[in-house]
Amino acid sequence: MDSRPHIVVVEDEASQRQLLVGYLEKQNFRVSGADGGPALRKLIERELPALVLLDVGLPGEDGFALARWLRERSGRIGVIMVTAASETVDRIVGLETGADDYIAKPFEPRELLARVKSVLRRSAGAAPTTGTRVRMGRRVLDLERRTLADPGNGSEETLAASEFDLLKVFAENPNRPLNRDWLLEVTAHREMEAYDRAIDLRITRLRKKIEIDPAHPDAIRTVRGVGYMFVPPKD
- The dihedral region occupied by 181, where left means phi > 0, alpha psi between -120 and 50, and beta the remainder, is alpha
Q: How far apart are CA 73 and CA 79, in angstroms?
A: 12
Longest CA span, the chain? 58
Give yes or no: residues 102 and 204 share one domain.
Answer: no
Domain region containing 28: 6-123
In terms of pTM, does the model score above 0.75?
no
Domain boundary among 94, 123, 152: 123
**Within a domain: 220:** yes
Q: Name which residue leads in pLDDT, 121 or 93.
A: 121
Report whether pLDDT(235) > 70. no
* Average pLDDT along the chain: 84
pLDDT at 22 over 50: yes
The whole-angstrom separation of Cα 145 and Cα 141 is 9
Of the listed ranges 100-114, 162-176, 182-196, 207-221, the one predicted with least confidence: 182-196
Q: Which residues pair with 221 in a beta bridge?
A: 229
pLDDT tens digit sequence for 26-44:
999 999 999 999 999 999 9
| Confidence (pLDDT) at 95 | 62
101 and 167 belong to one structural domain: no
Tell me, what's the pLDDT at 54? 94
Check whether 2 has a pLDDT greater than 80.
Answer: no
**Averaged pLDDT for residues 14-19:** 95
pLDDT bucket at 195, cuts 50 / 70 / 90: very low
Query: What per-residue confidence (pLDDT) applies to 18?
Result: 96
Residue 48: give its domain's CATH number. 3.40.50.2300
**What SS3 state is found at 136?**
strand
Helix H or strand E segment including 211:
none
In this model, does residue 155 exceed pLDDT 50? yes
Q: 53 - beta bridge partners? A: 9, 80
pLDDT at residue 24, as a whole number: 97
128 lies in some domain: no
Q: Tell me the pLDDT band of 143, cut-offs 50, 70 and 90.
A: confident
Total number of domains in the chain? 2
pLDDT higher than 60, residue 130 = no
pLDDT at 129 over 70: no
Same domain flag for 103 and 144 = no
Q: Are residues 94 and 194 in the same domain?
A: no
pLDDT of residue 36: 95
235 occurs within a structural domain = no
Q: What is the mean pLDDT of residues 145-172?
A: 88
Compute the average pLDDT of residues 67-76. 79
